[in-house]
Structure 1
Amino acid sequence: MSENISAFTSKEYDMKIKQTLPYYDEFYQQVIDLVKSCNLNALHWLDVGCGTGKMAEIAFENIGVEKFTFCDCSSEMLEIAKERFPYPNTEFILCDIQELTNSNEYDVITAIQVNHYLQKEERRKAVQNCYQSLRENGIFISFENFAPFSELGKNIYLEKWKLYQMEQGKTAAESDEHISRYNQNYFPITLTEHLKLLRDCKFRVVEILWISNMQVGIWGMK
Protein backbone atom coordinates (compact mmCIF):
# COMPACT_ATOMS: atom_id res chain seq x y z
CA MET A 1 0.00 0.00 0.00
CA SER A 2 2.61 2.52 -1.11
CA GLU A 3 0.47 4.81 -3.29
CA ASN A 4 -3.05 6.06 -3.52
CA ILE A 5 -5.54 5.10 -6.25
CA SER A 6 -6.64 8.63 -7.09
CA ALA A 7 -5.69 10.37 -10.32
CA PHE A 8 -2.90 12.26 -8.55
CA THR A 9 0.24 11.45 -6.58
CA SER A 10 0.45 12.43 -2.94
CA LYS A 11 2.82 15.35 -3.65
CA GLU A 12 0.60 17.02 -6.24
CA TYR A 13 -2.78 16.05 -4.80
CA ASP A 14 -3.85 19.27 -3.06
CA MET A 15 -3.08 21.44 -6.08
CA LYS A 16 -4.52 19.12 -8.73
CA ILE A 17 -7.75 18.28 -6.95
CA LYS A 18 -8.86 21.94 -6.95
CA GLN A 19 -8.22 22.09 -10.70
CA THR A 20 -10.40 19.04 -11.12
CA LEU A 21 -13.40 19.25 -8.78
CA PRO A 22 -15.74 22.26 -8.82
CA TYR A 23 -16.54 23.59 -5.34
CA TYR A 24 -13.99 21.28 -3.70
CA ASP A 25 -13.52 23.54 -0.65
CA GLU A 26 -17.30 23.71 -0.28
CA PHE A 27 -17.40 19.96 0.41
CA TYR A 28 -15.54 20.53 3.67
CA GLN A 29 -17.54 23.56 4.73
CA GLN A 30 -20.74 21.58 4.23
CA VAL A 31 -19.37 18.82 6.47
CA ILE A 32 -18.49 21.29 9.22
CA ASP A 33 -21.88 22.99 9.04
CA LEU A 34 -23.66 19.64 9.33
CA VAL A 35 -21.57 18.43 12.26
CA LYS A 36 -22.20 21.69 14.11
CA SER A 37 -25.93 21.37 13.48
CA CYS A 38 -25.97 17.89 15.04
CA ASN A 39 -24.69 19.29 18.37
CA LEU A 40 -22.18 16.49 18.90
CA ASN A 41 -19.67 17.07 21.71
CA ALA A 42 -16.19 15.75 22.56
CA LEU A 43 -15.95 14.35 19.09
CA HIS A 44 -14.14 11.20 18.10
CA TRP A 45 -13.72 11.66 14.34
CA LEU A 46 -12.54 9.17 11.72
CA ASP A 47 -11.62 10.38 8.23
CA VAL A 48 -11.24 7.50 5.79
CA GLY A 49 -9.24 8.14 2.64
CA CYS A 50 -7.82 11.10 4.56
CA GLY A 51 -5.22 12.01 1.94
CA THR A 52 -2.99 14.84 3.12
CA GLY A 53 -5.34 15.83 5.94
CA LYS A 54 -7.63 18.49 4.46
CA MET A 55 -10.63 17.33 6.54
CA ALA A 56 -8.61 17.42 9.75
CA GLU A 57 -7.36 20.93 9.02
CA ILE A 58 -10.90 22.26 8.66
CA ALA A 59 -12.20 20.26 11.63
CA PHE A 60 -9.49 21.43 14.04
CA GLU A 61 -10.09 25.05 12.99
CA ASN A 62 -13.84 24.94 13.51
CA ILE A 63 -14.91 22.21 15.97
CA GLY A 64 -13.80 20.85 19.31
CA VAL A 65 -12.32 17.46 18.41
CA GLU A 66 -11.28 15.21 21.25
CA LYS A 67 -9.64 12.64 18.97
CA PHE A 68 -9.06 12.61 15.21
CA THR A 69 -8.19 9.38 13.41
CA PHE A 70 -6.64 9.49 9.95
CA CYS A 71 -7.12 6.44 7.73
CA ASP A 72 -5.70 5.91 4.24
CA CYS A 73 -4.44 3.04 2.09
CA SER A 74 -1.51 5.19 0.88
CA SER A 75 1.53 5.31 3.14
CA GLU A 76 2.74 8.44 1.32
CA MET A 77 -0.51 10.30 2.02
CA LEU A 78 -0.48 9.19 5.64
CA GLU A 79 3.11 10.36 6.13
CA ILE A 80 2.19 13.83 4.88
CA ALA A 81 -0.74 13.91 7.30
CA LYS A 82 1.50 12.79 10.18
CA GLU A 83 3.93 15.62 9.51
CA ARG A 84 1.09 18.16 9.38
CA PHE A 85 -0.69 17.03 12.54
CA PRO A 86 1.78 15.82 15.20
CA TYR A 87 -0.82 16.24 17.94
CA PRO A 88 -1.39 13.97 20.96
CA ASN A 89 -5.07 13.56 20.07
CA THR A 90 -4.39 12.13 16.59
CA GLU A 91 -4.15 8.54 15.39
CA PHE A 92 -3.01 7.20 12.01
CA ILE A 93 -4.21 3.94 10.44
CA LEU A 94 -2.78 2.48 7.25
CA CYS A 95 -5.60 0.42 5.78
CA ASP A 96 -8.32 0.27 3.16
CA ILE A 97 -11.84 1.30 4.15
CA GLN A 98 -12.94 -2.28 3.48
CA GLU A 99 -10.54 -3.45 6.21
CA LEU A 100 -11.95 -1.35 9.05
CA THR A 101 -12.71 -3.47 12.10
CA ASN A 102 -13.72 -0.79 14.63
CA SER A 103 -17.00 -0.99 16.49
CA ASN A 104 -19.06 1.77 18.15
CA GLU A 105 -16.06 4.08 18.39
CA TYR A 106 -16.67 7.28 16.44
CA ASP A 107 -19.16 10.15 16.50
CA VAL A 108 -18.32 11.28 12.97
CA ILE A 109 -16.93 9.39 9.99
CA THR A 110 -16.11 11.23 6.79
CA ALA A 111 -15.24 9.81 3.38
CA ILE A 112 -14.48 12.53 0.84
CA GLN A 113 -14.12 11.24 -2.73
CA VAL A 114 -13.27 7.71 -1.60
CA ASN A 115 -15.92 5.09 -2.32
CA HIS A 116 -16.42 5.74 -6.02
CA TYR A 117 -13.21 3.79 -6.63
CA LEU A 118 -14.96 0.65 -5.41
CA GLN A 119 -17.19 -1.82 -7.21
CA LYS A 120 -20.73 -2.08 -5.86
CA GLU A 121 -20.20 -4.97 -3.44
CA GLU A 122 -16.93 -3.46 -2.23
CA ARG A 123 -18.71 -0.16 -1.70
CA ARG A 124 -21.42 -1.88 0.32
CA LYS A 125 -18.81 -3.47 2.56
CA ALA A 126 -17.05 -0.14 3.03
CA VAL A 127 -20.24 1.67 4.04
CA GLN A 128 -21.27 -1.19 6.33
CA ASN A 129 -17.87 -0.99 8.04
CA CYS A 130 -18.42 2.72 8.62
CA TYR A 131 -21.85 2.01 10.09
CA GLN A 132 -20.38 -0.55 12.49
CA SER A 133 -17.63 1.88 13.50
CA LEU A 134 -20.06 4.61 14.53
CA ARG A 135 -21.49 5.15 17.97
CA GLU A 136 -25.27 5.39 18.37
CA ASN A 137 -26.48 8.66 16.77
CA GLY A 138 -23.13 9.04 15.04
CA ILE A 139 -23.08 10.37 11.49
CA PHE A 140 -21.42 9.18 8.30
CA ILE A 141 -20.80 11.88 5.69
CA SER A 142 -19.66 11.05 2.19
CA PHE A 143 -18.93 13.17 -0.88
CA GLU A 144 -18.77 11.21 -4.13
CA ASN A 145 -19.03 11.47 -7.87
CA PHE A 146 -22.41 10.22 -9.03
CA ALA A 147 -23.80 8.81 -12.26
CA PRO A 148 -26.44 10.83 -14.15
CA PHE A 149 -29.68 8.99 -14.91
CA SER A 150 -29.36 9.12 -18.72
CA GLU A 151 -26.62 8.65 -21.30
CA LEU A 152 -27.28 12.12 -22.70
CA GLY A 153 -27.13 13.62 -19.24
CA LYS A 154 -23.82 11.87 -18.61
CA ASN A 155 -22.30 13.17 -21.85
CA ILE A 156 -23.42 16.74 -21.19
CA TYR A 157 -22.15 16.73 -17.59
CA LEU A 158 -18.81 15.22 -18.61
CA GLU A 159 -18.34 17.91 -21.27
CA LYS A 160 -19.23 20.57 -18.67
CA TRP A 161 -16.70 19.02 -16.30
CA LYS A 162 -14.02 19.01 -19.01
CA LEU A 163 -14.58 22.72 -19.71
CA TYR A 164 -14.30 23.52 -16.00
CA GLN A 165 -10.92 21.79 -15.79
CA MET A 166 -9.62 23.68 -18.80
CA GLU A 167 -10.77 26.96 -17.26
CA GLN A 168 -8.68 26.06 -14.18
CA GLY A 169 -5.52 25.72 -16.28
CA LYS A 170 -5.51 22.12 -17.43
CA THR A 171 -4.79 21.39 -21.07
CA ALA A 172 -7.44 19.80 -23.26
CA ALA A 173 -5.42 16.57 -23.23
CA GLU A 174 -5.17 16.54 -19.42
CA SER A 175 -8.89 17.21 -19.12
CA ASP A 176 -9.76 14.49 -21.63
CA GLU A 177 -7.55 12.04 -19.75
CA HIS A 178 -9.37 12.70 -16.49
CA ILE A 179 -12.82 12.50 -18.09
CA SER A 180 -11.88 9.15 -19.65
CA ARG A 181 -11.53 7.68 -16.15
CA TYR A 182 -15.33 7.58 -15.83
CA ASN A 183 -16.41 3.94 -15.35
CA GLN A 184 -12.83 2.83 -15.99
CA ASN A 185 -10.87 3.96 -12.93
CA TYR A 186 -13.82 4.97 -10.77
CA PHE A 187 -17.37 3.68 -10.76
CA PRO A 188 -20.11 6.20 -9.97
CA ILE A 189 -23.63 5.17 -9.00
CA THR A 190 -26.86 7.16 -9.29
CA LEU A 191 -28.31 9.32 -6.54
CA THR A 192 -31.06 6.74 -6.02
CA GLU A 193 -28.44 4.02 -5.54
CA HIS A 194 -26.47 6.19 -3.11
CA LEU A 195 -29.48 6.67 -0.85
CA LYS A 196 -30.57 3.03 -1.09
CA LEU A 197 -27.09 1.85 -0.14
CA LEU A 198 -27.12 3.78 3.13
CA ARG A 199 -30.62 2.59 3.94
CA ASP A 200 -29.63 -1.01 3.19
CA CYS A 201 -26.70 -0.59 5.60
CA LYS A 202 -29.26 0.25 8.34
CA PHE A 203 -28.74 3.98 8.73
CA ARG A 204 -31.96 5.22 10.33
CA VAL A 205 -31.71 8.68 8.74
CA VAL A 206 -30.45 9.16 5.19
CA GLU A 207 -30.30 12.57 3.47
CA ILE A 208 -28.68 14.50 0.64
CA LEU A 209 -26.50 17.29 2.02
CA TRP A 210 -25.31 19.04 -1.13
CA ILE A 211 -25.26 18.49 -4.90
CA SER A 212 -23.71 20.18 -7.90
CA ASN A 213 -22.40 19.07 -11.29
CA MET A 214 -21.51 15.37 -10.85
CA GLN A 215 -20.68 15.46 -7.12
CA VAL A 216 -23.00 14.82 -4.20
CA GLY A 217 -22.75 14.97 -0.44
CA ILE A 218 -24.87 12.45 1.46
CA TRP A 219 -25.10 11.56 5.13
CA GLY A 220 -26.59 8.94 7.36
CA MET A 221 -27.21 8.74 11.10
CA LYS A 222 -26.87 5.47 13.00
Structure 2
Amino acid sequence: MSDNISAFDSKEYDMQIRRTLPYYDELYQQVIELVKACNHNTLKWLDVGCGTGKMAEVVFKNMEVEKFTFCDCSSKMLAVAKERFPYSNTDFILCDIQEISYSNEYDVITAIQVNHYLQKEERKKAVQSCYQSLKENGIFISFENFAPFSDFGKKIYLNKWKEYQMKQGKTSLESNNHINRYNRDYFPITITEHLELFHNCGFRAAEILWVSNMQVGIWGIK
Protein backbone atom coordinates (compact mmCIF):
# COMPACT_ATOMS: atom_id res chain seq x y z
CA MET A 1 0.00 0.00 0.00
CA SER A 2 1.26 3.49 -0.85
CA ASP A 3 2.17 5.86 2.01
CA ASN A 4 0.41 8.73 0.21
CA ILE A 5 -2.63 9.32 -2.01
CA SER A 6 -0.77 8.58 -5.26
CA ALA A 7 -0.23 5.13 -6.73
CA PHE A 8 3.41 4.96 -5.61
CA ASP A 9 5.27 4.85 -2.32
CA SER A 10 7.33 7.97 -1.58
CA LYS A 11 10.63 6.07 -1.88
CA GLU A 12 9.92 4.94 -5.43
CA TYR A 13 7.72 7.79 -6.62
CA ASP A 14 10.26 9.67 -8.76
CA MET A 15 11.25 6.53 -10.65
CA GLN A 16 7.74 5.17 -11.10
CA ILE A 17 6.04 8.37 -12.19
CA ARG A 18 8.26 8.65 -15.28
CA ARG A 19 7.30 5.10 -16.25
CA THR A 20 3.67 6.09 -15.94
CA LEU A 21 3.16 9.68 -17.06
CA PRO A 22 4.20 10.77 -20.57
CA TYR A 23 6.17 14.04 -20.74
CA TYR A 24 6.41 14.24 -16.96
CA ASP A 25 9.45 16.53 -16.96
CA GLU A 26 7.90 18.73 -19.65
CA LEU A 27 5.03 19.66 -17.33
CA TYR A 28 7.44 21.43 -15.02
CA GLN A 29 9.27 23.20 -17.79
CA GLN A 30 5.96 24.56 -19.04
CA VAL A 31 5.32 26.01 -15.58
CA ILE A 32 8.69 27.77 -15.53
CA GLU A 33 8.20 29.26 -19.00
CA LEU A 34 4.74 30.56 -18.09
CA VAL A 35 5.87 32.20 -14.87
CA LYS A 36 8.78 33.87 -16.66
CA ALA A 37 6.41 35.13 -19.36
CA CYS A 38 4.29 36.79 -16.68
CA ASN A 39 7.29 39.01 -15.78
CA HIS A 40 7.33 38.20 -12.07
CA ASN A 41 10.53 39.09 -10.25
CA THR A 42 11.43 37.64 -6.85
CA LEU A 43 8.68 35.19 -5.95
CA LYS A 44 6.81 33.71 -3.06
CA TRP A 45 5.82 30.27 -4.32
CA LEU A 46 3.54 27.62 -2.82
CA ASP A 47 3.62 24.09 -4.24
CA VAL A 48 0.60 22.08 -3.11
CA GLY A 49 0.87 18.32 -3.22
CA CYS A 50 4.61 18.86 -3.47
CA GLY A 51 5.50 15.17 -3.26
CA THR A 52 9.25 14.67 -3.17
CA GLY A 53 9.93 18.21 -4.41
CA LYS A 54 10.15 17.99 -8.20
CA MET A 55 8.63 21.44 -8.68
CA ALA A 56 11.09 22.99 -6.26
CA GLU A 57 14.01 21.29 -8.00
CA VAL A 58 13.09 22.92 -11.30
CA VAL A 59 12.27 26.28 -9.75
CA PHE A 60 15.56 26.59 -7.87
CA LYS A 61 17.48 25.77 -11.04
CA ASN A 62 15.71 28.43 -13.09
CA MET A 63 14.38 31.26 -10.94
CA GLU A 64 15.05 33.48 -7.96
CA VAL A 65 12.68 32.70 -5.11
CA GLU A 66 12.17 34.75 -1.95
CA LYS A 67 10.25 31.92 -0.29
CA PHE A 68 9.21 28.46 -1.39
CA THR A 69 6.56 26.65 0.62
CA PHE A 70 6.15 22.89 0.32
CA CYS A 71 2.70 21.52 1.14
CA ASP A 72 1.57 17.89 1.15
CA CYS A 73 -0.91 15.73 3.04
CA SER A 74 1.66 12.91 3.26
CA SER A 75 4.24 13.20 6.04
CA LYS A 76 6.44 10.70 4.17
CA MET A 77 6.50 12.78 0.99
CA LEU A 78 7.11 15.96 2.96
CA ALA A 79 10.00 14.33 4.82
CA VAL A 80 11.70 13.46 1.52
CA ALA A 81 11.28 17.02 0.26
CA LYS A 82 12.56 18.50 3.51
CA GLU A 83 15.71 16.39 3.34
CA ARG A 84 16.31 17.46 -0.27
CA PHE A 85 15.83 21.20 0.30
CA PRO A 86 17.17 22.31 3.71
CA TYR A 87 17.36 25.94 2.57
CA SER A 88 16.71 29.07 4.62
CA ASN A 89 14.03 30.28 2.21
CA THR A 90 11.90 27.12 2.39
CA ASP A 91 9.16 26.04 4.73
CA PHE A 92 7.03 22.91 4.95
CA ILE A 93 3.39 22.43 5.92
CA LEU A 94 1.53 19.18 6.39
CA CYS A 95 -2.06 19.67 5.24
CA ASP A 96 -4.58 18.92 2.53
CA ILE A 97 -5.00 21.42 -0.31
CA GLN A 98 -8.56 22.09 0.88
CA GLU A 99 -7.23 23.22 4.26
CA ILE A 100 -4.82 25.90 3.04
CA SER A 101 -5.71 29.09 4.89
CA TYR A 102 -3.36 31.79 3.61
CA SER A 103 -4.66 35.16 2.42
CA ASN A 104 -2.98 37.21 -0.34
CA GLU A 105 0.36 35.56 0.43
CA TYR A 106 1.80 34.01 -2.75
CA ASP A 107 2.75 35.13 -6.26
CA VAL A 108 2.58 31.60 -7.67
CA ILE A 109 0.75 28.47 -6.53
CA THR A 110 1.23 25.17 -8.30
CA ALA A 111 -0.69 21.91 -7.96
CA ILE A 112 0.79 19.21 -10.18
CA GLN A 113 -1.33 16.03 -10.43
CA VAL A 114 -3.21 16.80 -7.22
CA ASN A 115 -6.85 17.80 -7.65
CA HIS A 116 -7.98 14.85 -9.76
CA TYR A 117 -8.01 12.81 -6.54
CA LEU A 118 -10.86 14.97 -5.27
CA GLN A 119 -14.61 14.77 -5.76
CA LYS A 120 -16.46 17.71 -7.33
CA GLU A 121 -17.15 19.78 -4.22
CA GLU A 122 -13.75 18.96 -2.74
CA ARG A 123 -12.07 20.11 -5.95
CA LYS A 124 -13.97 23.40 -5.86
CA LYS A 125 -12.94 23.98 -2.25
CA ALA A 126 -9.31 23.22 -3.14
CA VAL A 127 -9.23 25.71 -6.02
CA GLN A 128 -10.96 28.34 -3.90
CA SER A 129 -8.34 27.91 -1.17
CA CYS A 130 -5.58 28.47 -3.72
CA TYR A 131 -7.36 31.55 -5.09
CA GLN A 132 -7.63 32.99 -1.59
CA SER A 133 -3.93 32.34 -0.93
CA LEU A 134 -2.75 34.26 -4.00
CA LYS A 135 -1.79 37.90 -4.13
CA GLU A 136 -3.61 40.13 -6.60
CA ASN A 137 -2.37 39.20 -10.11
CA GLY A 138 -0.97 35.95 -8.72
CA ILE A 139 -0.95 32.80 -10.85
CA PHE A 140 -2.41 29.40 -10.05
CA ILE A 141 -1.17 26.58 -12.28
CA SER A 142 -2.71 23.13 -12.15
CA PHE A 143 -1.79 20.03 -14.13
CA GLU A 144 -4.33 17.20 -13.98
CA ASN A 145 -5.57 14.14 -15.75
CA PHE A 146 -8.67 15.12 -17.71
CA ALA A 147 -11.75 13.24 -18.87
CA PRO A 148 -12.21 12.88 -22.64
CA PHE A 149 -15.50 14.16 -24.08
CA SER A 150 -16.70 10.75 -25.26
CA ASP A 151 -16.54 7.11 -24.23
CA PHE A 152 -14.81 6.38 -27.53
CA GLY A 153 -12.17 9.01 -26.80
CA LYS A 154 -11.70 7.62 -23.32
CA LYS A 155 -11.13 4.11 -24.70
CA ILE A 156 -8.55 5.33 -27.23
CA TYR A 157 -6.66 7.49 -24.74
CA LEU A 158 -6.53 4.75 -22.10
CA ASN A 159 -5.27 2.22 -24.65
CA LYS A 160 -2.61 4.71 -25.73
CA TRP A 161 -1.63 5.26 -22.10
CA LYS A 162 -1.32 1.54 -21.50
CA GLU A 163 0.99 1.20 -24.50
CA TYR A 164 3.21 3.99 -23.17
CA GLN A 165 3.58 2.32 -19.79
CA MET A 166 4.46 -1.03 -21.35
CA LYS A 167 7.13 0.65 -23.48
CA GLN A 168 8.63 1.96 -20.22
CA GLY A 169 9.01 -1.60 -18.93
CA LYS A 170 5.76 -2.19 -17.08
CA THR A 171 3.97 -5.49 -17.55
CA SER A 172 0.51 -5.64 -19.06
CA LEU A 173 -0.91 -6.38 -15.60
CA GLU A 174 0.90 -3.42 -14.01
CA SER A 175 -0.31 -1.14 -16.79
CA ASN A 176 -3.89 -2.37 -16.51
CA ASN A 177 -3.85 -1.93 -12.75
CA HIS A 178 -2.93 1.72 -13.18
CA ILE A 179 -5.43 2.30 -15.97
CA ASN A 180 -8.18 0.82 -13.81
CA ARG A 181 -7.68 3.58 -11.24
CA TYR A 182 -9.66 5.87 -13.58
CA ASN A 183 -12.87 6.98 -11.82
CA ARG A 184 -12.02 4.67 -8.91
CA ASP A 185 -8.98 6.28 -7.26
CA TYR A 186 -8.96 9.56 -9.18
CA PHE A 187 -11.83 11.45 -10.75
CA PRO A 188 -11.02 13.44 -13.88
CA ILE A 189 -13.21 16.18 -15.34
CA THR A 190 -13.27 17.55 -18.89
CA ILE A 191 -11.12 20.45 -20.00
CA THR A 192 -14.26 22.58 -20.32
CA GLU A 193 -15.15 21.80 -16.70
CA HIS A 194 -11.62 22.73 -15.62
CA LEU A 195 -11.94 26.18 -17.18
CA GLU A 196 -15.44 26.71 -15.78
CA LEU A 197 -14.20 25.77 -12.31
CA PHE A 198 -11.46 28.41 -12.41
CA HIS A 199 -13.92 31.09 -13.49
CA ASN A 200 -16.44 30.03 -10.84
CA CYS A 201 -13.76 30.28 -8.14
CA GLY A 202 -13.07 33.90 -9.04
CA PHE A 203 -10.12 33.88 -11.46
CA ARG A 204 -10.45 36.77 -13.89
CA ALA A 205 -8.76 34.76 -16.61
CA ALA A 206 -8.38 31.01 -17.14
CA GLU A 207 -6.38 29.49 -19.97
CA ILE A 208 -5.04 26.19 -21.24
CA LEU A 209 -1.27 25.95 -20.94
CA TRP A 210 -0.57 22.48 -22.30
CA VAL A 211 -2.39 19.33 -23.40
CA SER A 212 -1.02 15.87 -24.13
CA ASN A 213 -2.58 12.44 -23.95
CA MET A 214 -4.87 12.66 -20.88
CA GLN A 215 -3.04 15.46 -19.07
CA VAL A 216 -3.88 19.15 -19.21
CA GLY A 217 -2.29 22.25 -17.71
CA ILE A 218 -4.69 25.06 -16.72
CA TRP A 219 -3.68 28.44 -15.32
CA GLY A 220 -5.61 31.28 -13.82
CA ILE A 221 -4.87 34.88 -12.86
CA LYS A 222 -6.39 36.35 -9.71
**Alignment TM-score, normalising by the size of structure 2:** 0.99
User: Runs (4+) of structure 1 moved beyond 3 Å?
Assistant: none
- Which position in structure 2 is the counterpart of 1:211? 211
Partner of 1:86: 86
Q: Aligned AA for 1:141?
A: I
Deviation at 1:205? 1.0
Contact (CA 8 Å) 1:75, 1:94: kept in 2 or not?
Answer: yes
Q: Which residue of 1 aligns with 2:72?
A: 72
Contact 1:209-1:219 at 8 Å conserved across structures: yes
Q: Are the equivalent residues in 2 in contact too, given 1:3–1:73 (CA < 8 A)?
A: no
Identity of aligned residues (%): 77
User: Residues 96-118 of structure 1, C-alpha deviation per residue, up to 9 Å, x if partnerless?
Assistant: 00110110000000000000000
Residues 108 and 139 in structure 1, CA contact (< 8 A), matched pair in contact too: yes
Q: How much has 1:41 moved relative to structure 2? A: 1.4
1:119 aligned partner: 119
Displacement after TM superposition at 1:55 (Å): 0.2
Displacement after TM superposition at 1:42 (Å): 1.5
**For 2:136 and 2:37, how far apart are their aligned partners in 1?**
17
Is this contact kept in 2: 1:139–1:221, CA < 8 A? yes
**Residues 50-61 of structure 1 aligned to structure 2 (within 5 Å):** 50-61=50-61
Alignment pair present for 1:149 and 2:153: no
SS at match of 1:52: coil
Which one-letter code corresponds to 1:57 in the other structure?
E
Partner of 2:174: 174
* 2:44 aligned partner: 44
Q: How much does 1:3 deviate?
A: 2.9
- What do the CA deviations read for 1:116-150 (whole angstroms, capped 9, x no partner)? 00000000000000000000000000000000000
Report what 1:128 is aligned to: 128
Match of 2:33 in 1: 33
- Structure 2 counterpart SS, 1:44: strand
Report if the CA contact (8 A) 1:162-1:179 is conserved: yes
Superposed, 1:154-165 pairs within 5 Å as 154-165=154-165
Q: Following TM superposition, by how much is the alpha carbon of 1:163 offset from its aligned partner in structure 2, in angstroms?
A: 0.4
Equivalence map 1:104-115=2 (5 Å)? 104-115=104-115
How much has 1:4 moved relative to structure 2?
Answer: 1.2
Q: Please name the residue that 1:191 is paired with.
A: 191
- 2:109 match: secondary structure: strand
Q: Which AA in structure 2 matches 1:80? A: V
1-structure distance, mates of 2:47, 2:204: 21
Deviation at 1:196, TM superposition (A): 0.1
Structure 1 SS opposite 2:208: strand
Which aligned pairs between 1:98-109 and structure 2 lie closer than 5 A? 98-109=98-109
Structure 1 CA distance for aligned equivalents of residues 174 and 160 of structure 2: 15
SS at match of 2:44: strand
Runs of 5+ consecutive residues of structure 1 not aligned to the other structure: none
**Partner deviation per Cα, 1:56-94 (whole Å, 9 max, x = no partner):** 000000011110000000000000000000000000000
- Number of paired residues? 221
